[in-house]
Amino acid sequence: MGGAFVAAAVLARLGGRIGLPTIPLFILAGILLGPHTPGVVLVSDPHDLEMLSALGLVLLLFYLGLEFHIDDLKAGGRKMAVAGGVYLALNVGAGLAFGFALGWGTSEALVLAGVLGISSSAIVTKVLVDTGRLGNPETKPILGIIVVEDIFLALYLAALQPILSGADSLSAALLDGGKAFGFLLALALAARFGTRLIGRLINTPDDELLTISFLGAAVLVAGVSEWFGVADAIGAFMVGLMLGSTTSGKRILKLVHPLRDAFGAIFFFVFGLSIDPGDLPGVVWPVLIAVALTLVMNVSAGLAAARIYKFGPEPAANIATTLLARGEFALILATMAAAAGLDARLSPFIAGYVLLLAIMAPLAAKQSGWLARILPGGKPGEPGGDAGASGASVPERVSV
């Protein structure tokens, strides 16, 4: 574990000197020091760090929940639902069509629909933090789309599991879906009506006790979420949403920051450990086609979200590039597909696709001004820069 931290830090420092984002460098450290590449092997079995990786994901999404105030959900729920629905329709639909076009099988196509359709919440969160855009007006639809994706994810996994396991019981699938939806509804009601009570329970002047309390709450609810068939990430997000609106919210935000950074790095490092570079050449063309398709669909979804919120080209470019990454959920699907005995090409395809987008997305987000210049309403004569810093047709900046 110590070697993982040091390796991630060294590569990130070197990359920072030439302007590279930290996420792909953490992943690269895992690839270079994992069991699938020659040389020094720090971790021979990625499962050895599985719990630390899960904790990194939980803390990343918990932090996102702290930043995303419940008032934002109440104020823009309808627009968020529409923007998230459009994003899913474009990307999941394109993923399903791509899966059938490959001819690998119906079950494989259903898996690819999720792989191509759903963004990486962890990478999106990190990109927003690294680019300093948490206060931008377009961040609200970005976070709203993530929430809609996570809700869809819970229902999608509940429906996909019996298909991959070969189960033919519709009642069992409906029961799993109902259980997941019921738990999500309970969390939403607690976030909406229980904030005052939760604030009293968690409030303490002692930073040590406060840290133990919010960390225990986030991890506990994340674990219970998995039992109900809901992704642990959305459980942690909902806890952050509840605590962020309490009187202790600002202190929690400050205390969780170093924990998020440290264990988030381990999450991306473990992601790299699971990738075998030797499997990638056989699926290089499908990967490149899928990446191009995702780029087109994300730009289309970014333009649609910008129209819904009456934004200009700069925020549209930010939405499109920030949501580009695919990550932890795609790896979950790769594991499920391998356990179900699906086409052996799925795992290397997913690894290559996710790695390429994990590298491209942070770079594209930092240079989204170039995309804004060629979108409808953009100004080709202006130099590219950080889109979203300014732009016409956007409301005043909001606190997210």
Q: State residue 116's pLDDT score.
A: 95
Give the tens place of pLDDT for each residue, 171-221. Answer: 666 676 677 778 878 887 887 788 788 888 888 999 999 999 999 999 999
Pick 310 or 125 by higher pLDDT. Answer: 310
Distance separating the N- and C-terminal Cα atoms of the chain: 34
When pLDDT is averaged across residues 358-378 and rounded to a whole number, the result is 86
pLDDT score of 395 more than 50: no
| Predicted local distance difference test score (pLDDT) of residue 169 | 58
Provide the pLDDT for residue 207: 92
Closest by CA to 338, choosing from 384, 396, 330, 142, is 330
Mean pLDDT (the chain, rounded): 83
Q: What is the pLDDT of residue 398?
A: 37
**379 vs 348: which has the higher pLDDT:** 348
- Taking only Cα atoms into account, the Rg of the chain, rounded to an integer number of angstroms, comes to 20
Average pLDDT (54-58) is 88
- Residue 321 neighbours by CB under 8 Å, 6+ apart: 298, 302, 361, 364, 365, 368, 371
Among candidates 236, 257, 238, 211, which has minimal Cα distance to 328?
Answer: 236
More confident residue, 378 or 249: 249
Is pLDDT of 6 > 60?
A: yes
Q: Mean of the pLDDT values across residues 264-269?
A: 86
Per-residue confidence (pLDDT) for residue 384, from 0 to 100: 43
Query: Tell me, what amino acid is at 189?
Result: L
Q: What is the mean pLDDT of residues 151-168?
A: 69
Q: How confident is the model at residue 143 (pLDDT cuts 50, 70, 90)?
A: confident
Does the structure show a pLDDT above 70 at 70?
A: no
What average pLDDT does the segment 362-388 reach?
A: 72
- Write the DSSP assignment of 273-337 as a string of letters: HT--GGGSGGGHHHHHHHHHHHHHHHHHHHHHHHHHHT--HHHHHHHHHHT----HHHHHHHHHH
